[in-house]
Amino acid sequence: MAIGEVMAGGAQAVNAGTGLFSMIYNAANQQKTWRREDTAVQRRTADLRAAGLSPTLAAGAAAQSSQAVRMGGTNLNPGAIAQAKLMGAQKKQSESSKNLADTQKRLVAQQAVNANELNKGIIQDNQTKMANAAMSLNEMLYEEATGVPRSLWNTPAGQAIILREQWKNADAAERALITATLGANLVK
């Protein structure tokens, strides 16, 4: 139930209660006023005697009629009730708009994080692919240069073939270094 509806219902209840209270108060006040009007001359005579004056002075003035004090009800007009409902609806709409804006901000921030993580993954994947391609190209070039198939590279026979090829293509200083390092039997 919206706050405007609660306020409107409350206003109607206040109007009904205030109206009943006003009616009872006004009736009691009217009774009191009539009693006072009925005894006005007697009270005036008693006041004159208490003041040491002649009570005949009270006979010259007739009893005065006074108006009862009326208490008006708090009547909220339909426009005020509609205004209260409108204010409640506007407050609810404002809160909904704020919640929507907050949700959109969080969603945009999460999308940025997701995009960043995705980009990192793509970059790493591309770097891995480029490294693998470069390694494959190097291996192909090395295989072509040495004449040793890749499957033999990590075997003793393959290593011996590669060293022989390096020895053949080396100058005298390099041959001396290879021979000294590995021994004359391996390279011949």
pLDDT at 147: 73
pTM of the predicted model over 0.95: no
From residue 4, give the alpha-carbon distance in Å to each of 64, 68, 83, 183: 49, 37, 8, 100
Please say whether the beta carbons of 34 and 115 come within 8 A. no
pLDDT in tens, 132-145: 888 888 778 877 77
Q: Is 69 helix (H, G, I), strand (E, B) or coil?
A: coil
Mean pLDDT of 75-84: 73
CA angle 138, 142, 143 (to 5 degrees): 115
CA dist., res. 144 & res. 151, Å (int): 13
- Tokens 């390092």 appear where? 181
Mean of per-residue pLDDT scores for the chain: 76
Query: Does the pLDDT of residue 68 top 80, yes or no?
Result: no
pLDDT at 34: 73
CA dist., res. 140 & res. 173, Å (int): 28
pLDDT in tens, 25-65: 877 888 877 777 767 778 888 888 888 888 777 776 555 55
Please say whether the beta carbons of 73 and 15 come within 8 A. yes
pLDDT at 7: 53
DSSP H helices in 147-169: 156-169
Query: Does the pLDDT of residue 15 top 80, yes or no?
Result: no
Annotate 49-106 with DSSP letters as a single string. Answer: HHTT--GGGGGGSPPPP-PPPPPPP----HHHHHHHHHHHHHHHHHHHHHHHHHHHHH
Percent of the chain scored above 70 by pLDDT?
74
**E strand or H helix that includes residue 10:** helix 3-38
pLDDT at 137: 82
pLDDT at 173: 82
pLDDT in tens, 92-115: 999 999 999 999 999 999 998 888
The residue count of the chain comes to 188
